[in-house]
Copies of this chain bind each other. A is one copy, B any other.
C-alpha cells in the first residue's frame, strides 16, 4: 500500500523527487520554498538512492547545474521562488533551446522586486509567456494540493523526458507551506547508465565508438539551420498543446457562470462555489492544471454555455488574457484578484462575481 503522510507541499515535492528517482537537485535558499532543500539535506538521499543534492552559490549557478545534469540525461530539478526564477531566466531559455528535460519549481511569492514572501500568483506571465528570451514554451503544471505537489514531480519528469523540454511546476506560498495528507507513490529506481543511453541517446555521457559525438547546445550561427531548429521547437509546442492539456471541471454541468482559477486560488474558489450555490448562484470552476498548454478548447466550449467567466488570480490579472484568447469574444470575462501577498477570501470572490459578472 502507498504511504500516507501529513506533509508540507515543499516537503512532499522534495520527497517525491527522491521517489521519482531523481538524480540531482540543485538549489539556493529562498522563502517560501527553502524547505525543499532542507528536507532533502535532512533525508540525505545521496546515501540511499544516490541522488545528488547540492546547495549552489546562487540561482544562476543552480539552473546551470541543472543544465549540465540534464545534458547527461539525468533527472534533475531545481526549485526557487519568484526573484530566483527571474535569475534563472537565461538558463531556462538555454535549456528550452538545447531541448533539455528538467523540472523547475517556482513557489511563487509576491512581486515585483523583493516584494513580499507571502503567496502570490504574479508569475503567470513569466512562466507561460516566457521569462527568458526567444521563442520557447515551458510545460507549466499548477498543483492545487500537497498531493499534487508530490504527483506532479513524477508527472513533470515524465513530460520533460517525453518532450525533451523543461517543465515548470508553478506553485505558491500557500501550497508550499500548507500541510495536507498525501499518499506517496512508491520509490522508483534511478535510471541506470544503460537505461539512460536508451532513453536519452542524445545525452553527453562519453562518446563511445558506436556513435557520433553528442553535443548539447542552443547555438546555431547559421540562420537557416537555426530557423529549422526553432520551427521544430514550435512544432513540439503545438504537439504539447494537442496532447497535454490538463484541467479539472468542478460543478460545471449546470453552471451559468464559471470561475477560472488555478493553484491555491482554485482551492479558495471551491469554497466560493459552496457560498454562491447556497445563495442560488449556479457557478462552477474550471481549474487549469496545465497553464501551458492552456485549456483553450474546453473554455471555448464552456463559453457557449455560460453567461460570464470570472478569473480569480492572486495577481493584477494575467491568466485572464489566455481566457480571453480562448473564448475569443464569445462571453464576458472579468478578473478578480488580490496582490502583494494578500489572499482573496471565498466570500469576496462571490461578491466580485455578483458585481462584475452577474450585475455588471
Which of A37-45, A108-116, A178-186, A203-211 interfaces with chain B?
A108-116
CB pair B131 A112 closer than 8 Å: no
User: Residues of B contacting A135 with CB < 8 Å?
Assistant: 111-112, 122, 315-316, 318, 339
Q: Which residues of B contact A234 (CB under 8 A)?
A: 316, 339
A97 within 8 A of B: yes
Binary flags per residue of A200-240, CB closer than 8 Å to B gives 1, else 0: 00000000000000000111111111111111011001000
**Interface size of A in residues (CB-CB distance below 8 Å):** 69
Interface 1/0 per residue, A107-132 and B, CB below 8 Å: 01011111111101011011001111
**With A83-B133, A325-B324 in contact, is A114–B126 under 8 Å at CB?**
no
Contact with B along A74-108 (1 / 0, CB 8 A): 00000000110111011001111110000000001
> Do the beta carbons of B339 and A115 come within 8 Å of each other?
no
21 contacts between A and B (CB under 8 A): A60-B87, A82-B133, A83-B90, A85-B133, A86-B89, A94-B113, A95-B113, A97-B112, A112-B233, A125-B129, A126-B129, A126-B131, A126-B133, A131-B131, A131-B132, A135-B318, A223-B341, A227-B341, A229-B340, A231-B316, A328-B328
The answer to whether the Cβ of A338 comes within 8 Å of any Cβ in the partner chain is yes
Cβ–Cβ contact B325 & A116, under 8 A: no
- Picked from B115, B130, B218, the residue with its CB within 8 Å of the CB of A134 is B115
* A234 CA to B112 CA, complexed, in Å: 11
* List of B residues within 8 angstroms of A50 by Cβ: none
Nearest CB of chain B from residue A46's CB, rounded to whole Å? 30
Q: Pick the 4 closest A-B CB pairs, nearest first.
A: A111-B134, A113-B218, A97-B113, A329-B329
Across the interface, which residues of B come within 8 angstroms of A197, CB to CB? none
Task: Answer yes or no: A271 CB below 8 A from chain B CBs.
Answer: no
Nearest B residue to A315, CB-CB: B135
